[in-house]
Amino acid sequence: MKRRDFLQTAAITTTAMAVPSILSASVPPPTKQKPLKIGEGTTILFQGDSITDAGREKTRELPNSGSSFGGGYAFLAASSLLKNYATEGPVIYNRGISGNKVFQLADRWQKDCLDLKPDILSILIGVNDYWHMRNGQYDGTVEVYEKDFRKLLTDTRAKLPGVKLVICQPFILTGTSAVDESWVAPFAPYQAAAEKICGEFDAIWVPFQKVFDEALKHAPASWWAPDGVHPSMAGAYLMAAAWMKAVTGIQI
């Protein structure tokens, strides 16, 4: 839908006022979901696929560095964490890699997770597990996704017993350049698997699909994620705001 058509059919509101309501409608407050403690030197790791990667540089891969973080939600959430917890001085890494499915996280887990010894580990993975199967590049099913994801987290807990987990809901926006309605039904079980695993590991849940569904009341899907998978700057900020609210209780 074109912006002008959208504006004609949607209630016109000032999103500056309305956007906090996106989050109040979609992200549980910290009273229901206890915010994680970020203390002196807490190490935080963002893991995932291209949405987390967002074009980050992969030679130096520095923590707390704008030059290494890419242009996505991980940069936005990490910058906010580094400002808001300046006195505590957390150490934050982004190790998302474009195209990754859950088994590809496992393949590089020693270097890109265990060696970094995160206190808080945030994972957003799943859209490629469905997408690459859909387009014939991969033969994994949702059962494989769920099994691989559970094994990855079981192994992680075994090696890092104190790690706090944040599981982000994989999401899609239909009516976009890559995603149509035919994605919804087959993708839902992947989202359900992620949520089930989140419960099993007592992880913080970040309900990105719910957040974007609310956001569609204020601007069309193309505004938030032109291809339905990769967020725009606006979509990335919305994700960072949802992440911050779910994990720390801070509104950004």
Q: Which residues bind its own copies (CB under 8 A)?
A: 3, 7, 10, 12-16, 18-19, 40, 54-55, 64-67, 69-72, 75-76, 78-80, 82-89, 215, 218-219, 223-224, 232-238, 240-241, 248, 250, 252
Radius of gyration of the chain (CA): 17
119 CB-near residues (< 8 Å, 6+ apart): 42, 43, 44, 162, 163, 164
Closest CB 236 distance from its own copies, rounded Å: 6
In the bound complex, what is the minimum distance in angstroms from residue 249's beta carbon to its own copies? Answer: 9
Minimum distance from residue 228 beta carbon to its own copies (Å)? 16
Dist CA 183 CA 130 (whole Å): 9
How many C-beta atoms lie closer than 10 Å to residue 12's C-beta? 9
Helix (H, G, I), strand (E, B) or coil at 53: helix
Strands 204-206 and 91-94: unpaired
Instruction: Choose between 69 and 131: whose C-beta lies nearer to its own copies.
Output: 69
Minimum separation from the CB atom of position 66 to its own copies (A):
3
Q: Which is nearer to its own copies, 75 or 243 (CB)?
A: 75
Q: Where are the alpha helices (DSSP H) in 86-126?
A: 102-107, 109-112
Minimal distance, residue 40 CB to its own copies, in Å: 8
Nearer to its own copies, 69 or 130 (CB): 69
- CB-CB neighbours of 138 under 10 Å: 16
Nearer to its own copies, 39 or 199 (CB): 39
Give the bridge partners for 92, in sequence order. 44
92 vs 152 by CB, closer to its own copies: 92
Please say whether the beta carbons of 78 and 100 come within 8 A.
Answer: no
